[in-house]
Amino acid sequence: MTPNSMVLVVEDDLHISELIVFLLQDGGYQTATAGSAAQARHVLESQAVDLVILDWMLPDTPGDQLCHEIKSRREESFLPILMLTARNALADRVAGLDAGADDFLTKPFHSDELMARVRALLRIRRAELARLQVITELRTAYDRLATTQAQLVQASRLASLGELVAGVAHELNNPLGIILGNAELLPTLDHSDDRRAVTQIIEGAQRARRIVQSLISFARQGKIEEDWYKPRDLVERVLDLKRADLQNHGIQVEVSYGLNLPMLWVDGSQIQHVLLNLIQNAEHAVQGRPMPRIALRVFRQDPPVLAPPLLGESLGAWQSDTGSLVMIDVMDTGVGIPSELQVRLFQPFFTTRPVGQGAGLSLAISYGIVSQHGGSLVYSSHPGEGSTFRIALPVVREGIPVPASNDGGASGSVLVMDSEPFVLDFVSRLLARKGWDVAVAQRAGQAFDMLREQPYHAVLCDLKLQDIDEWDFYQQIQQICPKHPPIVVLMTGEIRNDRIDALVQSYDLPVLRKPFTAQELFDCLLIVEPHDQENS
Ligand SMILES: Nc1ncnc2c1ncn2[C@@H]1O[C@H](COP(=O)(O)OP(=O)(O)OP(=O)(O)O)[C@@H](O)[C@H]1O
Ligand SMILES: [Mg+2]
């Protein structure tokens, strides 16, 4: 600070003022001058000053008053004041020091002494500024620490919430399966009121099933498990979770689906997670806004991709030469995102929500998920008007098989195994109604005996609570029926079981996830090929 420091000389005696200025400039300092308190105030307001040399006898204001004023205005950063008093003015010096002056010099003074005092006071100022800087840095670090701590607490809450949700969802699967399965057996009732009641039970149970599946998707994280999904199903599952809530908060929800939407080869739960994040962000953005509205638009885009004019530049800049895409736009009429914040949107822990409310992770995670799928997550935002986030997912392959329904009536024999008697009951009744020859077993040993006695086309089994695991069960069946082993279909209410997943992958086995609909049950047995049971 030394040579370029700015010194304000407040002195009404022009000769003394000029002398001091000369000495200071000679010492390499910058100077400003004031002949009165009023001028001094003006200089202090209009430019940065590092030291004030203040004559005690000013024409317009007593020295101690001005001294007090300067000190109270500059309480944050230390501004030293060197007062100049007459030789015998002891009372002035005491008043000056009491009013906040840091040092004094009596007139007439020696130039060396003036310069030595100037240097000393500027040294103190430099030390004070360094101290303030450290305090500011400490404060910032403390604030950052407090924010990070709140985010970590939130993240761990989310993790335990995920586990809880997974557990609850799993437990709901069996009772839901029983309701759905039994209800689907009922519509043959004659009375129309009964029929309506049954239809409503089925619809209600199917809705509950979708919600459970959405919760499971939310709770599941980690590796990508791809499968074929209809874009519409992905969106509707998330809306099942959010629609009522949004509408209860007065938020209008609109959804539109374009024509010829191809199926997507994606991890459904992860893409739903992304959609949920975007909808939740839109929800926060429209809160408290007039006419809050969230619109979802799903459409197919064949190359070259040109953004619709409504969506603005940052979407427009995005092009694809890869092939067809499915776009899922989440638009809101919310606050929008200020342009200076837009570059930080996808950074982990970037949030504008109050501490403890937003982790600032959703967009970062969503970006990662969409990129892992070979897609893009882009946005366009107009502060004060709203934002659009777009998920663009590549269409991997056309001509994806649509599962046929088993309307032609099934055939063959099936052995159903489950430790839940209710499940056994409704599954076997559903299959029998479709023409299957059904036998049931509650334990693995019993099933092996039955397979030894008679061949079956298919074995449908849930091995939970059995003393044998799926691998052993599958291998023993191969040994019992070496020539024409039955198709093994695994039923499971578990969200994730690594051993089952590995078995399913190794032998490409069909899996029926509980709760399932009648149609899903029939569809998974479509692969059973009739064979001559006598020869097996
Ligand atoms: N639709 C939107 N409209 C306005 N601002 C948005 C929108 N979506 C995201 N933002 C801004 O981006 C920030 C980061 O979003 P992100 O979803 O990653 O974290 P968050 O919502 O703050 O917290 P959480 O991780 O709990 O979702 C938000 O805090 C918000 O400032
Ligand atoms: Mg968010």
Tens digits of per-residue pLDDT, 149-173? Answer: 766 665 666 566 666 777 777 788 8
For residues 117 and 444, which has the higher predicted lDDT (pLDDT)?
117
6-109 and 413-535 have identical folds: yes
Ligand 1 atom with the shortest distance to the CA of 363? 18
Token digits of residue 241: 């979770």
Phi/psi-derived region of residue 440, left when phi > 0, alpha when psi is between -120 and 50, beta in every other case:
beta
Q: What percent of the chain stands above pLDDT 70?
A: 84
- Ligand 2 centroid–CA 353 distance in Å is 9
The span from the first CA to the last CA of the chain, in angstroms, equals 97
Residue 51 φ then ψ, to 5°: -155, 140
**347 band by pLDDT with thresholds 50, 70 and 90:** confident
Amino acid letter, residue 419: S
| CATH class of residue range 6-109 | alpha beta
pLDDT at residue 175, rounded to an integer: 85
388 close to ligand 1 (CB < 6 Angstrom): no
369-375, Cβ contacts within 8 angstroms, sequence gap of 24 or more? 369/267, 369/270, 369/271, 369/273, 369/274, 370/271, 370/274, 372/224, 372/270, 373/224, 373/266, 373/267, 373/270, 373/271, 374/322, 375/325
351 close to ligand 1 (CB < 6 Angstrom): yes
349 close to ligand 1 (CB < 6 Angstrom): no
CA 204 to chain centre: 30
pLDDT at residue 176, rounded to an integer: 87
Ligand that comes closest to the CA of residue 349: 1
pLDDT at residue 218, rounded to an integer: 56
Ligand that comes closest to the CA of residue 155: 1
For residues 382 and 91, which has the higher predicted lDDT (pLDDT)?
382
CA–CA gap between residue 233 and residue 217 (Å, rounded): 13
CA–CA gap between residue 148 and residue 505 (Å, rounded): 41
| Predicted confidence (pLDDT) at residue 399 exceeds the cutoff of 60 | no
Q: Return the domain boundaries, the chain.
A: 6-109, 221-394, 413-535
253 close to ligand 1 (CB < 6 Angstrom): no
Question: Considering only CA atoms, which residue is closest to atom 8 of ligand 1?
Answer: 281
| Predicted confidence (pLDDT) at residue 320 exceeds the cutoff of 70 | no
| Predicted confidence (pLDDT) at residue 220 exceeds the cutoff of 60 | no
| Predicted confidence (pLDDT) at residue 403 exceeds the cutoff of 60 | no
Q: pLDDT averaged over the chain?
A: 82
| Predicted confidence (pLDDT) at residue 405 exceeds the cutoff of 50 | no
| Predicted confidence (pLDDT) at residue 356 exceeds the cutoff of 90 | no
Ligand 1 atom with the shortest distance to the CA of 282? 1
Rounded mean pLDDT of 121-134? 90
| Predicted confidence (pLDDT) at residue 309 exceeds the cutoff of 60 | no
pLDDT digits over 9-63, tens only?
A: 999 999 999 999 999 999 999 999 999 999 999 999 999 999 999 998 888 988 8
pLDDT at residue 53, rounded to an integer: 96
- Ligand 2 centroid–CA 267 distance in Å is 21
**312 band by pLDDT with thresholds 50, 70 and 90:** very low
CATH number of 413-535: 3.40.50.2300
| CATH class of residue range 221-394 | alpha beta
pLDDT at residue 298, rounded to an integer: 92
CA–CA gap between residue 48 and residue 44 (Å, rounded): 7
Please state, as a whole number, how many other Cβ atoms lie within 10 Å of the Cβ of residue 506. Answer: 10
For residue 273, give the nearest of 348, 367, 186 by alpha carbon: 367
Name the range with the highest mean pLDDT among 41-45, 127-131, 186-190: 41-45
